[in-house]
Every structure is written in C-alpha cells, then in structure tokens.
Amino acid sequence: MKLDRRSFIKLMAMNSAATAAATLFPGVSFGAWSTTEMASGGIVWKKTPCRFCGTGCSLLVGVSGDRAVAVKGDPNSTVNKGLCCVKGYHSIQILYGKDRIQKALVRKNGKMVEVPVAEALDLVARKMQETIQTHGKDAVAMYGSGQWSITDGYVASKLFKGCIGTNNVEANARLCMASAVTGCLTTFGLDEPMGCYEDIEKADVFVTWGNNMAEMHPVLFSRMLATRKNRTHVKIIDFATRTTRSSLAADRSILFRPQTDLAVANAICYEIIHNGWVNWDFVNKHASFHKGKTNIGYGTEDHFKFKDKAETVDFNAFKTFLDDYTPENVEKISGVPAKDIKYLAALYGDPDKKVTSFWTMGMNQHTRGTWINNLVYNIHLLTGKISSPGNSPFSLTGQPSACGTVREVGTLTHKLPHGVVMNPDHRKMAARIWDVPVENIDPKPTYHTVEMFRALDRGDIRFMWIQVTNPMVTMPNLRRYRDGAEKEGRFVVVSEIYPTPTSDIADVILPSALWIEREGFFGNSERRTQHNEQIVPMPGETVSNTWQIMEVARKMGFEKQFPWSEETYIEDIWNEYIQFHDSPKHRMAPFKVLKERSGVQWPYVNGMETKWRYNAKYDPACKQKDFDFYGKKDHRAWIWLRPYEPPAESPDSEYPFWLNTGRVLEHWHTGSMTRRVPILHKAMPESYVEINPDDAARMGITNGSDVKISSRRGSLVMKAAINGRGNPPRGMVFVPFFDEKYLINEVTLDAFCPISKQPDYKKCAVKLERA
Amino acid sequence: MPVFSYLAYPEQGAKEQLLKDLSELRYCEITTAQNEELLILLTDTPDEDSEKQLQKKLKALDSLQSLGMAFGHMDD
C-alpha cells in the first residue's frame, strides 16, 4: 500500500509517542493502535530478532509500503516480553542513513569507482583464485562476525574449509566470547550455557562478574530488577573493576584490582570448602578435578603457540592448591576486603539460596579468560548450583549471533559446524554433508584472529574478505594491523552497509543488505535461534552476504556445492546445516517451526525445547539420573586448579594508569550504525575518557578538558569525563570504543588468553597528560 | 501544516473524560493505553492559526493534567 508524505509523518509522530510511553511505562500497551494505524495508511507488523546485542530481543517491525516505520517489543517473546532498550526502539533507523553503501566499489588507480555488483564479484573470485595459485590456499582468508546471519557464516565455512581447503575462517566473536567457549569446553566438554533467561525469575542472588548489564544487556538487567522488586529478599552483587550504572543499582558493589578476579574466585572456593558448604552428593557423583599448565604466556609475539595439558588430580590436591588463597591473602592481591570475599562465599555457599552468575567481556577479554571462566564454574560445581532453575553460571554474549553463527556454525579456524577440524570423524561428517572430498578439509587449524592480522601484515595472507565487522577500529594494537593491511600486495574485500575505517582500506567494497532487508537467522545467548523473513526491500544494488559468498563460490567452480536458487536459498541452507546437529545434544528446530515462533531453544527434541541442559529432568540427552555432564567422556564436569597470574602489562612509573575499554548504552560496537541514528548520536555524540575525580584533581584536569592518553603503542587526545556515567577507581581510566574519531585501540595491547586466543581489552598501562 | 504527538496525562480518575473531551476536538486523534493512565494525542492541523486555536482549547480542558510532546513537525 502506498503511503503519502503526510501519513508517513503522522506514523512517525505516533511511533515517537509510543516509544516515549514505553520508555516511561515499560510494558504499556496500546490496544487501539492498530485501528489508528489502519486509518493512517496501513501498517503490517513482522517479527524479527533485534539487530544489536546477544540478548536476542524479539521485535515487531511495523512496515508501511516498502518502508519500516515503527518498532515495538514482541509481547510473545519470552526473552524481552514486549520490552526493548533504546537501541532496539530506534533500530529501524539504521536502515536509512544518508550515506548507505548501495553500489559496489572497486579501487582503480587509487580511487574507489562504482561498478556493477556482478563485476565486483567477478573480481573477488578472480583475485582469490590468483592468490591461491601464486601463494597457496592459506594465503586467502575470511574474517566475519557474530553479527553474521547463520547462513552467512555457514556458506563462508563451506567455501573456505570445504571447497578451498583452508582453515582461514575467523570471526570477530574471537574478540568477544572465545574465552567463554574454551571455558565451557574445558569444564563441560560442550559449548554454550546450560541455563536460560528464566533463571532470572528463579534466582535469589545475582553476582555480575565484571559486566555492566545496565548498559550492555539492559533488557535482562530490567528483568533482574523486576525480580528483586517482586521478591524482596533477592540481592544483586556487582563485582567489578569500576563503578557503573550497574553498581549503583546493585545491593552491593565490590571493586577488585584488574586480573585479580582469578584470586578472588579461588578464595571463594577456599571459603566454601573450609566452611563445610561443599555439596558432596553433587561433587562425588558429577565432578572431577584437574590441573593444567601454568605460566602460560600472553601471546604478544608472532607465531605464539600454546597447548594445555590436563592432569587428573583429586579433591585433596584441589584443597591444598587453595591454601594460597585465604581471604586474607587475596585481600592483599585484589584489594577486596576479606569480609567481602567471605560475604560472596557465604552467598554461594548458602544451600537455601539459588545463585546466578552473569559475565561478559570482563571475564572473557582477559589474558586468563579461559581460567576465570573455569573458576566461576568451580564455585557453582562445588555447591551443586548449576543446571537447575535459578542456579546458573551464565556467559552473556555481546553480539546477536555470536552463539548462532560463530559458536554453533563454527566459524573459527579450528571449528567445523559439528566439532573440530582436528577430529577425523568430524571432517568425514563435514565432507559428506558438504559433498566434498574429505582430503579437502585440512586437519590443522591456521590463524586465530590476532594471528590472522599478523599474517596479513607479514604477507603470509595476501587476500582477506571482511564481512559485517570493523576490525580497523576494533583490533588491539591497531596501528600495526592497519599498516599491515595497507601494505603493497594485499587485497582486501569489505562487505559493508556504511563507510567505515575498514572500508577505507578496501580494494573492493560490496554493498550488503542489512538485517531485515534479507531473510536470515540469529542465535542468542540462551541457545535460542530466531528467524526473520525479508521485511523490506534491499536498497540499490545491495545483496545479502550469503548470496555474495555463494556467487563467488560458483564463479570459482563450486556450483555443485552451492546449487540453491534465489527464492529458497535460506531455507535450503538451513536444511543442510541442521544435519550437523542431528542429535539430542544439539538438535535444531525445523525451518517451519522457526518461521512461526519468536525463537526456539536447542536442543529441540520431539517438539520440545531444552531449558536446562545436563539435568535429566529437562534434558532428553541425559543418560544418568539427576545430572549428566555428557560432554566429557567421564560424564563429569571438571573442576580446574587455575592459579592467579598477573596480566601482560601493568602500570609502572612511566605508564602509571590502567586503561579499560568498553561500550555504552546508546551505541552498538564501533557505532557505524547507531551513530547514524540521530537520537542515539545526540544522546552520546562522542567518546571520552573517564578519570577518577581524585586523579583528575591531582593532575589539574577538569571535566571536558582535553587529555592525552599514551601507551607504548600509541596515543590520542580526547575529552575528560569526571563523575560521569561511570567512575573508575584511582589509577584507572576507561574509554568507550564506539567512536571512530578516537581510535583507542591504537593504544591497547594485543595480548591474549593462550587457550582461547581472545585479546584482553581491559588491561594495559597508559599515562595521562593535560593536552 | 503542523503535526505533533503528545503523551497526555489525565487528572486523577479522569482518563475516560479526557478521552471524551479530546475526541470532541477537531484535528485530534487519540489512542488510549490499556494498562496505564495515559493517552497518546496526535494533532494534525491545517495551518498555524488552527494550531494556536487548538492549543488554547487543550489548555482549557479540566480533565487534562499535562501534555508531554514526543514529536513535532512543521512544513517550511
């Protein structure tokens, strides 16, 4: 139906009022709205997962004619129950930025020139083939994203791993949740949380480990606050390195020195054991004890290699190991008073309290990210507070499909859609489903993300295709990787929706369809897969990322592996993909079911979703009574002996401050979408450096004045924020990374967890000067 | 040709009366919240004079406690 300009303005007016009302009165309902809308020119509501964080809110997008004109939370969604955050309410405006990339661009004589998409795709295929012929198959790479739709990641993996035969597939989720993956794998043998968001209504205590849910997962945070309001004994404990909005809303805010969460977690276990709070029935039946290597390094040098080796030990060895971690000892390391450590332990140890732990980047972006994940699982395992309603150690993801596309499809160098490239059975399964010779799939992983960009710098990689991510803002120690990407003899393809610092270095820019302009799937933090249909037309000459990869694959001669038609390719790919997960441990819902519902949790068995894994009451894959940690051969969850080790770089006399980086409520990652939404841009127009008021006073820095931040790698000047939204302790500064005008990652360090290979964006040493 | 939208807050217990009062005014479209004491008022007047007249009438309503503007548009 056509909509005239006046009616459109009225629709926007109505939408603005409804959004304002929903912000002031969460859950407000306007039953008569549809009548008004019909009178205003007709509007159709379509469901979709939100484009932004890993919460996976379900939205209803109002469409009039060919244009998305309104958004409301989907009341049928168990995730957000009709709520949205400020980004969700304004999400459709990301479709309509003035500088949207709508045509393919190719660099000719140093200038970007518009060309037909087919010509650009020809060039991409030809360049990839030439690079493989000249430099070998491992000289080409794909770098994707946890914002990839599931089908994007699936066809990328199939083309690179199955057809070309290189494991050079990585995704930016390596930067945000790889430690959560290795944490799950080392403790449980299988990835992804065992619980679900219903834990929020069942728990008595929430401990948030270094994550600011009030800004990063606001809808889940509001559910947590609602639980506390409805059940007044409920407590929220914010355990963090800086004071945030989450700290202010918590019942207790406990600050620790960077990296020392490792020591505190061990001290909590010490207290649980020495106070007799161990759930022996659970531990004896369902846990085993293991130790790994120590002094494992930081990965700051090229070609860094590390492989952990597990050794089985017994409970007494674990108890002895913890003797170094008395609350009093740990107070000296962490700065957390021993009484606060005992308080935390008492909450976890109380048999009458259900405890849920949440974490995101604080624990995952950590040079001992795998270890701290293990240690929080240790606490829950010792007390038996796991895999049951309200008892949940829960890693929240940052991106809408970090779980769906990266963890489940396996778009990391060592992964396959089922299992890992090192396993011959997993390679055989992939070869059968992909219809490629099994010899095509290389049994050796190649480069994780940081090493992949180092390889581009060195010249080991010559061709890189980047989709749905902005590494020229997000890579740590950025200057090295930008300079590397711009070297002679490198060819960079960028599939994008808006110009970014990454598209600035591209040789080819492919115009991508965005979110609801194409059909697709996301998978959220709680194992929920959500489908969206194409809701509005693709603008200009944009095409889906899935289609771009398929077209290039066909041009390279892989027509047999990518036979699908434009009308049905998303459904066809889904039907092929779910063959990889056809077991009660991970079965995915059929396409038809996903199309009908606002998300479905896997394992989906006999028409039923699985809310709590490893618990026989809820999980059909369990073969034992009560609990069955079937991911491990011994059917037990592993309790790990993991010590405190210091970070890669700490403040010293020359660089006396910690630098911590992160996000803000209004902006999504590097801001390439949300900074084009006027209301979000106005609310948070530019980045800043948070400084503790005492430090600022001592240095004569006033609010809003210019400050130079320098590390051993780079420097930048930005405005000071004192007593603003967040407040770091003395000796720490915090900088949001959403603003491409202030590339804070030129300052950060590219140290990573040797097990997960995830970089640590939360800790490096800097100095401050008045500018 | 101004278009405005507002959150309209009724005086205590006067939501139904406010709905009735606003419905009787020209250039007004009203949507009531089902579960809150709140209405959305959308005004679409043909010119500035009509807009001014409407504003006067709105201010005179006893059932209306306050208006919070959510959106405004005026043609150049």
Query: Measured between beta carbons, which residues in chain B are less than 8 angstroms from residue A19?
Result: 70
Lowest mean pLDDT among A213-217, A552-556, A734-738, B8-12: B8-12
Arithmetic mean of pLDDT, A628-641: 97
Q: Do B68 and A20 touch (CB under 8 A)?
A: yes
Q: How far is A13 from chain B (nearest CA, A)?
A: 5
Distance from CA of A605 to the nearest CA of B (A): 38
What pLDDT band is residue A2 in, cutting at 50, 70 and 90?
low
Identified catalytic residue from A369, A398, A631, A662: A398
Instruction: Please judge whether B7 and A17 are an interchain contact, meaning their C-beta atoms are less than 8 angstroms apart.
Output: yes
pLDDT, residue A333, reads 97
Work out the average pLDDT over A172-189.
97
Q: How high is the pLDDT of residue A24?
A: 77
Instruction: Report which of A378, A303, A373, A379 is spatially closest to residue A345, judged by C-alpha positions.
Output: A379
For the question of residue A399 being annotated catalytic, the response is yes
- State the catalytic residue, choosing from A163, A177, A224, A363: A177
User: How far is residue A595's CA from residue A602's CA, in Å, rounded to a whole number?
Assistant: 15
**Chain A residues with beta carbon closer than 8 angstroms to that of B31:** 14, 30, 32-33, 36
What is the average pLDDT across A718-733? 97
- What pLDDT shows up at residue A35? 41
Rounded to whole angstroms, what are the CA distances from B57 to B11, B52, B64, B70?
A: 16, 9, 11, 19
Q: Compute the average pLDDT of residues A392-397.
A: 97
Q: How confident is the model at residue A3 (pLDDT cuts 50, 70, 90)?
A: low
Contact assessment for residue B7 and residue A21, using Cβ atoms and an 8 Å cutoff: yes
Q: Which residues of A touch B42 (CB under 8 A)?
A: 10, 13-14, 17, 36
Mutation for A interface: B28, B42, B43, B69, most A CBs within 10 A: B42
| Pairing mode, strands A252-255 and A706-710 | unpaired
Q: Which two tokens stand for residue A580?
A: 């990889």
Confidence check: pLDDT of B76 > 70: no
Q: What is the mean pLDDT of residues A103-130?
A: 97
Residue A673 pLDDT exceeds 60: yes
- pLDDT, one tens digit per residue, over B18-49 is 999 998 899 999 998 888 899 999 999 999 89
For chains A and B, count residue pairs whose Cβ atoms are closer than 8 Å. Answer: 69
User: Of A399, A467, A548, A601, which residue is the catalytic one?
Assistant: A399
Q: What is the mean pLDDT of residues A326-334?
A: 98
Average of per-residue pLDDT across A178-184: 98
Give the model's pLDDT for residue A25: 80
What's the rounded Cα separation, in Å, for the pair A702 and A320?
A: 50
Evaluate if residue A572 carries a pLDDT over 50: yes
Is residue A63 within 8 Å of A44, Cβ to Cβ?
yes
Which chain A residues are within 8 Å of B1, Cβ to Cβ?
A: 6
Q: What is the DSSP letter of A407?
A: I
pLDDT of residue A421: 98
pLDDT of residue A39: 40
Q: Supply A280's token pair.
A: 């022996």
- Which residue among A6, A19, A32 sits closest to B31, beta carbon to beta carbon? A32
The answer, yes or no, to whether residue A484 has pLDDT greater than 50, is: yes
Sign (positive or negative) of CA dihedral A544, A546, A548, A550 = negative
Residue pLDDT, tens place only, A706-723: 999 999 999 999 999 999
Q: What is the mean pLDDT of residues A256-276?
A: 98
Q: How far apart are CA A620 and CA B37, in angstroms?
A: 47
Active site residue A362: no
| Subunit contact A30:B7, Cβ cutoff 8 A | no
Q: Do A17 and B6 touch (CB under 8 A)?
A: yes
User: Which DSSP category does A513 fall into?
Assistant: P
Query: Across all residues in chain A, what is the average pLDDT?
Result: 96
Q: CB distance A29–B34 less than 8 Å? A: yes
Name beta bridge partners: A509. Answer: A105, A494
Question: What distance in Å separates residue A23's CA from the closest CA in chain B?
Answer: 12
Q: Look at residue A729 in the predicted model and tell me its pLDDT.
A: 98
| Mean pLDDT for the stretch of residues A457-475 | 98
- Residue A243, beta-bridge partner list: A727
What are the start-end ranges of the H helices in A256-401? Answer: 261-274, 280-286, 315-321, 327-334, 338-349, 361-364, 369-382
pLDDT tens digits for A407-440? 999 999 999 999 999 999 999 999 999 999 999 9
Average pLDDT value for residue range A434-459: 98
Q: Which tens digits make up the pLDDT trace of A47-103? A: 999 999 999 999 999 998 899 988 999 988 999 999 999 999 999 999 999 999 999
Chain B residues interacting with chain A (CB cutoff of 8 angstroms): 1, 3-7, 29, 31-36, 38, 40-42, 44, 68, 70-71, 73
Chain B residues touching A22 at Cβ < 8 A: none
Q: Write out the residues of chain A at the interface with chain B, using a CB-CB cutoff of 8 A.
A: 6, 9-10, 12-14, 16-21, 24-25, 27-33, 36, 39
Residue pair A405/A153 in contact (Cβ under 8 Å)? The answer is yes
CA nearest A74: which of A113, A115, A22, A128?
A22
Q: What SS3 class is residue A89?
A: helix
Task: Give the model confidence (pLDDT) of A140-164 as tens digits.
Answer: 999 999 999 999 999 999 999 999 9
Reduce the DSSP state of residue B41 to 3 states and report it.
Answer: strand
Confidence check: pLDDT of A325 > 90? yes
The C-alpha atoms of residue A233 and residue A236 are separated, in whole angstroms, by 10
Residue A676 pLDDT greater than 60, yes or no: yes
A376-387 average pLDDT score: 98
Looking at residue A41, what is its pLDDT?
Answer: 52
Averaged pLDDT for residues A244-254 = 97
Q: What percent of chain A has pLDDT over 90?
A: 93
**Residue A389 pLDDT > 50, yes or no?**
yes
- The ipTM assigned to this model is 0.96
Position A40 pLDDT exceeds 50: no
In tens, the pLDDT along A283-317 reads: 999 999 999 999 999 999 999 999 999 999 999 99
> Where do runs of H (alpha helix) occur along chain B?
15-23, 48-59
Mean pLDDT of A316-338: 98
Residues 6+ away with beta carbon under 8 Å from A516: A46, A48, A61, A68, A92, A95, A532, A534, A535, A536
What confidence tier does A367 reach under pLDDT thresholds 50, 70, 90?
A: very high
Which residue in A87, A158, A762, A763 is the catalytic one? A87
Active site residue A176: yes
> What b/e readout covers A298-310, taking b as 16+ CB neighbours within 10 angstroms?
bbeeeebeeeeee
Specify the pTM: 0.88
For A39, other C-beta atoms within 10 Å of its C-beta total 11
Residue A152: what residue type? Answer: D
